[in-house]
Amino acid sequence: MSDLLQGIFETLPDPRSIEDLGRLINFVRDGLEVEHVSYLALSLGSSVRFASSQVGALSDSVGGWWRSESSLGASSYSYDWSLRYVEQGFQRIDPVVDTAIRSFVPINWKNLDWRERKQRQLLREAVDFGVGNQGYTVPIHGPDGQFAIFVINATCSDERWENLIKEHRHVLVIAANFFHQKVLDITNVFGETPNVKLSPREVDVLTALALGKNRSQAAYDLKISENTLRVYVDSARHKLGAINIPHAIALGIRKGIINGI
């Protein structure tokens, strides 16, 4: 189990405002020992348009957040860089965005094409503004055209960066999707959050784990393999917007999905 994800569950399971995202960003940044953590939604759904452009500070005095039209970002980058990126419309020439928009696999920035003049300029400016020489981006694609990226950056050697990614790639995918879910919750773009519907089997596996059984016991009792149990639990976790299994159980109980405990 990941300490970072457990830490998020224990201390920050439910950010209530965009400012609160700063604490989440800080937490991930410290947990992974990277320099920057950022989130940028270029679409939160085909019909989502913010009435006014806005910028603000994040809690814990980390970076800032901004939104305009359909996009929303929050980042530990210096305010100056975030604003410059938005004002210049850099997302239109950024190879990270260009690749992420048509891909579901995470991207090591080093593997992208930065050769053209515009891209070199962008990269040089980013380095000048303290973004770092390494980047890794997890794309998030949701229903109704939702598209966001979750990014970590640092200044280090290629080797160190590859090791860091290898160690944390799994956690990064989960953290990215969690962050996106929290932004959807906070911006409340879909009105009341729809009730999560879990299938009976997903309820069974969560209930068994909530009762304190370990995975192999729970799988044995339910007459399924342990890996089958793992995919059922993970589907339930994802649908509940939980960051790990304890969080999924807590949400399941709060939402009245898990009964009889």
Contact residues for another protein, defined by CB under 8 A: 99, 102-106, 109-115, 120, 123-124, 127, 133-134, 141-143, 155, 157-159, 169-174, 176-177, 199-202, 224-225, 227-228, 230-232, 234-235, 237-239
- Looking at beta carbons only, is 50 or 220 nearer to another protein? 220
- Looking at beta carbons only, is 23 or 201 nearer to another protein? 201
User: Is residue 56 classed as helix, strand or coil in its secondary structure?
Assistant: strand
Nearest approach, Cβ of residue 156 and another protein (Å): 8
Nearest approach, Cβ of residue 90 and another protein (Å): 16
- Looking at beta carbons only, is 113 or 192 nearer to another protein? 113
Residue at 240: amino acid letter: L
User: What tokens were used for 127?
Assistant: 């380095």
Nearest approach, Cβ of residue 243 and another protein (Å): 12
Nearest approach, Cβ of residue 27 and another protein (Å): 19
Backbone angles phi, psi at 89, to 5 degrees: 60, 40
User: What tokens were used for 108?
Assistant: 């090591």
| Cα(4)–Cα(27) distance, integer angstroms | 8
- Looking at beta carbons only, is 56 or 106 nearer to another protein? 106
DSSP 101-116: TT--S-EEGGGS---S
Nearest approach, Cβ of residue 187 and another protein (Å): 19
Radius of gyration of the chain (CA): 19
Q: Parallel, antiparallel, or unpaired for β 134-141 and 54-57?
A: unpaired
- Looking at beta carbons only, is 89 or 143 nearer to another protein? 143
User: Is residue 138 classed as helix, strand or coil in its secondary structure?
Assistant: strand
Residue at 27: amino acid letter: F
